[in-house]
Amino acid sequence: MKRLLFAILISGFLSSCNDGDVIVTSFDFDESNLDNCGGLGGYVFFNINNSSAAESISLIVETTTILFIESGVQEFELNGGTNTVNYRKYNGDISSGYFCNNIPPTSPDVTIEFLGDSGTAELTTEVTKIDDDGIEEDITSNLDTDEDELLNFFDEDDDGDNVPTLIELGNDYTTGNSSTPQDTDEDGIPDYLDDDDDNDGVLTRHEDLNEDLDPTNDETDPEFGPDYLNPSVSINTIVDEYSIHSYNFKSDISLIISNLVLINGEEEITQEVMNFGNKEDVINTDVTTTPIFNN
């Protein structure tokens, strides 16, 4: 695994080094070991190295902003108070519980400690939303076909007709037998983007006789199939609300500290850039929501 090795010059003289020797300290942290805990009000980020001498580097950020929910870079100025970096060495191995338990453990003992006096923490968050609807969609696009405030790339019902995109693509497309999504009325608009799939003048969403927000189970002619695909049936049942939607929400982070100054009495460690590391799946969950109907 790629490791981070920092050779850091102590700008002040240690009490035991009155002869003017320059002292070099090495920090050896695996960039993939970045971890975190806490939440709104106070977040803790830390990286632990138990491979040689037990040591840790940690950052405490006090903020009223919920982190990890939007892509971008957030900066936090270190002030030695609400936003603080802490470097420690210990006389025994430590675990994440050292930082994340409500009651910190009493051991191992801290043998060396430096506190962050100044610098800037830069937290980079990359959020991915996936609807898994069978269509490869541009995650940078702002396209929202049905204007339900869920962009197409994480909207499992792109046209807002209460029939999931995965169903409207058609069996031939989803099984790889066709490169073209299903277009029932052959109007050049595939069903998953067409709000009137059979072109009978009644919106697919309104061909829902039992009003259960699922047009797929309404069949006036069972031998033909659902009414929303049957141009001979045009019973209009006004249903102006959306069914429940879901998508996967994933968040990855990376953290660096710029112009870091660590202080221990008269001793000072400076580092122009310190990479705390990165962490995948800080959040990885399925989000369930019902879009507000505003058409």
- 98 in a structural domain: yes
Of the pLDDT bands very low, low, confident and very high (cuts 50, 70, 90), residue 26 is: low
Q: State the DSSP code for 246.
A: E
Cβ contacts of 127 within 8 Å, gap of 6 or more: 68, 69, 70, 71, 249, 250, 251
pLDDT on residue 177? 95
Identify the domain containing residue 13 by its residue range: 3-128+249-282
CA distance 214 to 162: 6
Domains held by the chain: number: 1
pLDDT on residue 53? 79
Taking 90 as the threshold, does the pLDDT of residue 14 lie above it?
A: no
Q: 3-state DSSP call for residue 221? A: strand
- 55 in a structural domain: yes
Taking 90 as the threshold, does the pLDDT of residue 27 lie above it?
A: no
Taking 50 as the threshold, does the pLDDT of residue 5 lie above it?
A: no
CA distance 168 to 205: 13
Instruction: Report the relative pairing of strands 267-289 and 245-264 from DSSP bridges.
Output: antiparallel
10 Å CB burial of residue 210 (0-12, 13-18, 19+) is: exposed
- 178 in a structural domain: no
- 243 in a structural domain: no
Position with higher pLDDT, 198 vs 265: 198
pLDDT on residue 15? 33
- Residue range 243-270, pLDDT digits in tens: 999 999 999 999 999 999 999 988 888 8
Lowest mean pLDDT among 104-113, 169-178, 280-289: 104-113
- 72 in a structural domain: yes
pLDDT on residue 16? 33
- 273 in a structural domain: yes
- 212 in a structural domain: no
- 172 in a structural domain: no
Of the pLDDT bands very low, low, confident and very high (cuts 50, 70, 90), residue 101 is: confident
- Residue range 223-245, pLDDT digits in tens: 999 999 999 999 999 999 999 99
Taking 70 as the threshold, does the pLDDT of residue 153 lie above it?
A: yes
pTM, 2 dp: 0.84
pLDDT on residue 19? 37
Taking 90 as the threshold, does the pLDDT of residue 44 lie above it?
A: yes
Taking 90 as the threshold, does the pLDDT of residue 121 lie above it?
A: yes
pLDDT on residue 107? 87
Taking 90 as the threshold, does the pLDDT of residue 43 lie above it?
A: yes
The average pLDDT across 264-291 equals: 93
Number of Cβ within 10 Å of residue 110's Cβ equals 14
CA distance 66 to 14: 41
